[in-house]
Structure 1
Amino acid sequence: MTSGEIDRRTAVRSAALAALTTGGVLLGGGPASARGVPALVRRGRPELTHGVQAGDVHAGQATLWGRADRPARLVAEISRDPSFRRAVTVQGPRVTPETDLTGQWAVRGLPPGSDVHYRVRAVDLHDPRRSGRPVAGRLRTLGGSRRDVRFLWSGDVAGQGWGANPEYGGYRIADAMARRDADFFLCSGDTVYADGPLQPTVALPDGRTWRNLVTPEKEKVAETLAEFRGQYRYNLEADNWRAFLASTAQVTQWDDHEVTNNWYPGEVLDDPRYTERRVDVLASRARRAFHDYVPVAEISPDRVGRVYRVLHQGPLLDVFVLDMRTRKDPNTANDETRRDGGVLGEEQTRWLVRELRASRATWKVIAADLPIGLVVPDGAAAQEGIAQGDPGAPLGREQDVARVLTALQDAGIRNHVWLTADVHYTAAHHYSPDRASYQRFDPFWEFVSGPLNAGAFGPNALDDTFGPRAEFVSAPPVANTGPAGGYQFFGEVEIDARTRALTVTLRDVEGRGLYSRTLEAQRR
């Protein structure tokens, strides 16, 4: 294989296999096109409306995403060369109103350890010679020979009244993240704020005015499927965010604000903003919108639609993406003494322990959408998070975490790092049994970073059950400090291929490093 082209034989073999297993539709296909949906009649050629994205790059494959302005077929060209010489053409799915004209599909046979350029266009369903302008993106594959790794993580987009501001190109932090030239971006939940309406302007403490882009779907809480879909389209109206997602593949999990604040299954809202107050109904619509607009590989073993999964990124890194929301128990005082799977659920817990034991990568990064030791109240008496402030033996949801930490110790797995967002500030936490009431685990680190573009808060109190110590904290002096105030954060993880050391750097809205910690790889 030459340096200027994809391994054509691999791509052809993958295409042929997919055609055999999917009834002739090349390369897997995302959401299938709807039968019987009347076509939208428009003049001209079909065009993409909201850029392109790639997600869940692993094992020589990636999931591509696009949205057209009418029913069409999505087609991608794939090449190692940004000029698209010797490109491979990959047929994608038909897109229809059933999926809000979005489509995503797997492309396979990508070369390891390479920058891969792709461009997507929409093709007329009745005349394949008529297609719109191509929109280009780039992703990076890992794996193969040992090489350095760099990825970013954060969460919380357009919350607490702080939306996309055209004066910053959309989201202020996006430009700093793009400059890091990361292999991928891990979004740790709250990808949208479906419960966070926006106003056109917000008065700032210094007398300036923050100006939000506002769309009809962002003027009220999301209840209908169309309104939930509009939350995702809103983010893609931000020019620099759309550009960042086109240049950096994502790994995405969801948390609460994709539905509504602090939700749990079976909840019935007491909120006059909602006409539909059954959270299970809202969550079903929100889940469908999430899968319409976020490129997620169909690799989760879950039978009911949760998105926990493991992404193998070569010999240095495995990423374990958790879903701590879909099976979450009600927000009580969280002090139950009997373990009931209140944050992961039994099936996901068994899966996580099994996959961690099977992992041969040097580092195991566990992407959690809730922090372990931070106390996150939900009102006066209830608890939203894993911890609850009782420094004694594990209670409530802490019992799920204790089970996982002990399984890691029993298996001799040392090199695990936990990453999260959720609390709207950035911090580095070291956990040790020497300081803990529960001691059946090995010391480990948890790093917190966020928000991307939302109100900043904190810091939260730590629960001593697992012996956490805050080694670094950066939080705003005033609650709900907006992006103009500077307290927006993302984290960066780098793994040195030669030494196998992992370095975490916490960065601010301009990309400046605030804190850095290097962890040496330990032998099993």
Structure 2
Amino acid sequence: MSEPSQSLHRPGRRTLLLGGAAAGASLLLPSSSAFGAPAFVRSGRPAITHGIQSGDVSASRAVVWARADRPARMWVEVSPTETFRQVRRLSGPILDSNSDFTGKTILRGLPAGEDLFYRVVVADPDDDRRSSAPEYGRLRTAPRGAADIRFLWSADLAGQGWGIDPARGGYWIFEAMRRLEPDFFICSGDLIYADGVLPAEKPLPDGTVWRNIVTPEKSKVAETLAEYRGNYRYNLLDENLRRFNAEVPQINSWDDHEVTNNWYPGEILDDSRYTEKRVDVLAARARRAFHEYLPTSTRTDDEGRVYRVNRYGDLLDVFVIDMRSYKDANTTGLETAGDGGVFGRRQLDWLKRELKASRATWKVLAADLPISLVVPDGAAIEAIAQGDPGAPLGRELEIAELLSYAKRNDITGMVWVTGDVHYTAAHHYDPSRAKFTDFTPFWEFVSGPLNAAVGVEPRPNPVDPTFGPQVVFAKGAPSADVGNPAYGYQYFGEVTINATTRALTVNLRDQSGTTLHTTTLPPT
């Protein structure tokens, strides 16, 4: 297996000709003699069914994902240019029914801070001459020092019955995001709505009709492993998303709708749509599908762990927070002593250690729930804030502990990004406005949904004053009638970091990519 040359220069950013001139260079596979004589010859060739993806990219490593239509071996070639004249060839896993024919190949020993091009085929495990057409992708590895960085984040796809309508362009927000050529994309959760049934049609106020693609797995709530898998396959029917996935590496977190609405460990559902009422059983199946269908880097000894840190040189560390797997039961949130919170003790201690150890200028906390927005669950509280204007209570106690720890240990440059609430906003937190004052001022930015219902302006969710938030900007939809993707009220966030000034700029953008609000933060 040849190694990539270290003397190769970086090509112009994002110049891959997907399916174009590069497709003329054939993917070279080892001859079948390398595996011995084939035991049998299948009719036809394997095919890649749902595009390719990359994720959890570091300075030297990346994960590449694919799915085949039958048992097949995954092969990946990596090149410094889109011509693929010089390649590094990697043999990946056998994709079989145990993983629903999905699989990942880990690319190691990559050059830091470089644009790289890759292509994937799947081949008959017994006759490698029978292989699929190649799928082409690209990624950029993280820098080792200081370099300009651009990333996006958002959440909430195919929610509240809004699925893929091909006549309206499908999930066209992903095309607007792709055109910005980000280094990576953070999905803050609710990438699928496993509990969200898609109707064939949704009438609109203007007299037109939104017509969803509908599949069997999206025609009922997901309970079985096959149904959770089918929810991920549904999204990958959209060509905008597949194109985006091939060109933009991902960092994936999860929230409630990857399992079921507002879930927490140990919950027993009171929902007639479900025959399996035990949330822990559903969550185990959902977690398996999550890791099977996304380019995550979770190792088997992590037991499917979602929280992790991704480092991008001197300027940025991304802390992926899991506020779902260790969450305590939803109550009114008025407890005066911590009893679980949203992090759980093991994750909270990990987060403190990693934040203290970080030497990056900016520490982005990729959360799946907002800090101060009140999100009800009936008479209980689903998120963190409960609307009580006094000292921290309930899950707020964990946030207070983390913020106090950061202040005592001089941890600077903390910026929170999140989704969940289906609108976009910029929140500034300051102890001078707060009931709890033992922390350093910081910002939280909210964005979403990608393709779902939208909160109604002026402020869709009440704001709890405990940590002194100021709503600097908020944008939803002007009315419930137009609060959906048919009318364009969908949102994502963009973060850029300038290598020279080290300033971090946040742009909150709409479905077409238009900037609605900008905040620039100087390095601390």
- Whether TM exceeds 0.5 here: the answer is yes
CA contact (8 A) 1:42 1:70 kept: no
What is the Cα deviation at residue 303 of structure 1? 4.7
Q: Check conservation: 2:41, 2:127, Cα contact below 8 A.
A: no
Structure 1 residues 75 and 4 mapped into 2: Cα distance closer, same or farther (>3 Å)? farther
Q: Deviations over 1:358-415 (max 9, x none)?
A: 0011100000100000000001x10001000001111110011111111111111121
Structure 1 counterpart of 2:331: 332
- TM-score between both structures, scaled by the size of structure 1: 0.91
1:191-270 paired onto structure 2 within 5 Å? 191-270=191-270
Tell me the SS of whatever aligns to 1:291.
Answer: helix
Distance 1:217 1:42, change over 3 A: farther
Q: Superposed, which structure 2 residues align to 1:322-471 within 5 Å?
A: 322-379=321-378, 381-458=379-456, 459-471=460-472
User: Map of 1:135-214 to 2, 5 A cutoff?
Assistant: 135-214=135-214
Is the contact made by 1:150 and 1:492 (CA closer than 8 Å) also made in structure 2?
A: yes
Deviation string, structure 1 residues 56-104 (Cα, Å, up to 9, x no partner): 0013100110000111110000011111110110111111100000001
Alignment of 1:85-164 (within 5 A): 85-164=85-164
Aligned to 1:49: 49
Cα distance between partner residues in 2 of 1:277 and 1:306: 23
Structure 1: which 4+ aligned runs deviate by more than 4 Å? 39-42
Letter in 2 for 1:410: R
Query: Cα 1:105–1:250, aligned 2, differ >3 Å: closer, same or farther?
Result: same
Which residue of structure 1 lines up, in the alignment, with residue 7 of structure 2? 2
**Structure 2 residue corresponding to 1:517, chosen from 505, 514, 519:** 519
What is the CA distance between 1:211 and its match in structure 2?
1.4
Residue in structure 2 matched with residue 72 of structure 1 by the alignment = 72
Q: Which runs of 5+ in 1 are unaligned?
A: 7-38
Calculate the aligned-residue CA RMSD, in Å.
Answer: 1.6
Specify the alignment match of 1:483 in structure 2. 485
Distance in 2, Cα, partners of 1:71 & 1:169:
33
- Please give the per-residue CA displacement for 1:314-366, whole angstroms capped at 9, x wherever unaligned: 11100000000001111110111111232000000000000000001110000
What's the CA shift for 1:40?
A: 12
Q: Secondary structure at the match of 1:465?
A: coil
Deviation at 1:168, TM superposition (A): 3.7
Q: 1:84 to 1:5 in 2, by over 3 A?
A: farther
1:405 match: secondary structure: helix
SS in 2 for 1:280: helix
Query: CA separation in 2, counterparts of 1:276 and 1:231?
Result: 18
Mean CA deviation greater in 85-94 or 166-175 = 166-175
The residue number in structure 1 matching 2:62 is 62
Contact 2:417 2:446 in 1 (8 A): yes
Separation in 2 of the partners of 1:299 and 1:314?
23
Is the Cα–Cα contact under 8 Å of residues 59 and 113 in structure 2 kept in the other structure? no
Corresponding letter in the other structure for 2:321: L
What is residue 307 of structure 1 aligned with on the other side? 306
Match of 1:473, SS?
strand
CA contact (8 A) 1:40 1:71 kept: no
TM-score by length of structure 2 reads 0.91
- Residue 356 and residue 69 in structure 1: after superposition, are their counterparts in 2 closer, same or farther (change >3 A)? same
Residue 10 of structure 2 contacts residue 114 of structure 2 at CA under 8 Å; is this kept in 1? no
Give the Cα separation in 1 of the matches to 2:441 and 2:41: 61
What is the aligned-residue identity percentage? Answer: 59
Alignment partners' CA distance in 2, 1:322 and 1:485: 32
What secondary structure sits across from 1:466 in the alignment? coil
Deviation, structure 1 residue 272: 1.1
**Deviation string for 1:397-439 (max 9, x for gaps)?**
0011111111111111121100000000000000000000000
CA contact (8 A) 2:41 2:126 kept: no
How far did 1:304 drift? 4.1
Contact 2:389 2:464 in 1 (8 A): yes
Q: Distance in 2 between matches of 1:413 and 1:422?
A: 26
Partner secondary structure for residue 478 of structure 2: coil
| Alpha-carbon distance change, 451 to 272 in structure 1, aligned in 2, over 3 angstroms | same
Q: Which amino acid is 1:439 matched to?
A: T
CA separation in 2, counterparts of 1:146 and 1:477? 41
Structure 2 gaps of 5+ residues are 1-5, 12-38
Q: What does 1:10-29 correspond to in 2, within 5 Å?
A: none
Stretch deviating more after TM superposition (332-341 or 176-185): 332-341
SS at match of 1:259: coil
